[in-house]
């Protein structure tokens, strides 16, 4: 599928028909159902992520990052560039663009936002995440923020479409648990990022 056709498909997808939970739940670990039952979303902190698309060699490319290994809730995980809403941000789309620039150097003024995807609540860190799909007409020159990003890498939409959900045991803060995830090369993409990817994939394949 051509880059322009993918953008048009995403941009024209009806907001009231976003697959949301139907897509997210395909990637729910078993413990998430219990976490959601006990969660109070009214106190959630606002955050936003950027799903950046751009054309390359006849394909459409998506930017992802790997978080550093530390003591945080999302240590070592694969993520979209993004982060916490700050009072100085005029809206959540600005948050997504600002954080993406701070983490990866993606130029804010060269990204055009075309779609908001469904909100996603993350109980473990008490964040309500708003994903924004944006595009550039050329490949960005990345500048990695070493304190927030361990690695920047990309995945093509054609590879995303071919990818299947698998169940795999992984180590989370010293505990081995089985989670559904997308396997891509040597990366395990699970949790919130995989849920967001699942919605994007369902929109493109619709």
pLDDT(38) > 80:
no
Average pLDDT taken over every residue of the chain: 92
Contact between 92 and 130 (Cβ < 8 Å): yes
Average pLDDT over residues 34-59: 87
Q: Give alpha helix (H) positions in the chain.
A: 3-12, 21-24, 30-37, 92-104, 157-162, 191-205
Digit-coded pLDDT (tens) for 105-160: 999 999 999 999 999 999 888 899 999 999 999 999 999 999 999 999 999 999 99
Task: Enumerate long-range contacts of 7-15, CB under 8 Å, 24 or more apart.
Answer: 7/53, 7/114, 7/135, 9/203, 9/204, 9/206, 10/114, 10/115, 10/133, 10/200, 10/203, 10/204, 11/114, 11/115, 13/115, 13/203, 13/206, 15/116
169-184 pLDDT tens trace: 987 767 788 999 999 9
Q: How confident is the model at residue 72 (pLDDT cuts 50, 70, 90)?
A: low
- 3-state SS, residue 170: strand
**pLDDT tens-digit map of 92-101:** 999 999 999 9
State which of 65-69, 73-77, 80-84 shows the largest mean pLDDT: 80-84
Q: How far is CA 78 from CA 10, 14, 37, in A?
A: 23, 28, 25
Domains of the chain by range and CATH?
3-205 (3.90.79.10)
pLDDT at 186 (0 to 100): 87
pLDDT number for residue 70: 63
pLDDT band at 71 (very low <50, low <70, confident <90, very high): low
pLDDT for the residue 177: 86
């Amino acid at each position: 599928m051509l880059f322009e056709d993918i953008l048009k498909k995403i941009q024209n997808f009806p907001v009231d028909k976003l697959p949301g939970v139907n897509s997210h739940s395909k990637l729910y670990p078993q413990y998430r159902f219990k976490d959601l039952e006990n969660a109070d979303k009214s106190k959630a902190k606002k955050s936003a992520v950027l799903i950046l698309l751009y054309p390359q060699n006849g394909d459409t490319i998506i930017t992802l990052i790997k978080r550093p290994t530390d003591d945080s809730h999302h240590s070592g995980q694969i993520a979209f560039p993004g982060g916490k809403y700050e009072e100085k941000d005029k809206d959540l789309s600005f948050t997504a663009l600002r954080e993406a620039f701070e983490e990866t150097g993606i130029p804010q003024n060269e990204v055009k936002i075309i779609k908001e995807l469904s909100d996603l609540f993350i109980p473990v860190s008490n964040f309500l995440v708003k994903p924004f799909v944006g595009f550039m007409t050329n490949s960005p020159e990345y500048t990695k923020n070493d304190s927030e990003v361990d690695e920047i890498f990309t995945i093509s939409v054609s590879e995303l479409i071919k990818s299947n959900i698998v169940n795999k045991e992984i180590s989370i803060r010293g505990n081995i648990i089985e989670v559904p995830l997308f396997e891509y090369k040597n990366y395990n993409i699970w949790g919130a990022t995989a849920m967001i990817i699942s919605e994007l994939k369902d929109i493109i394949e619709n």
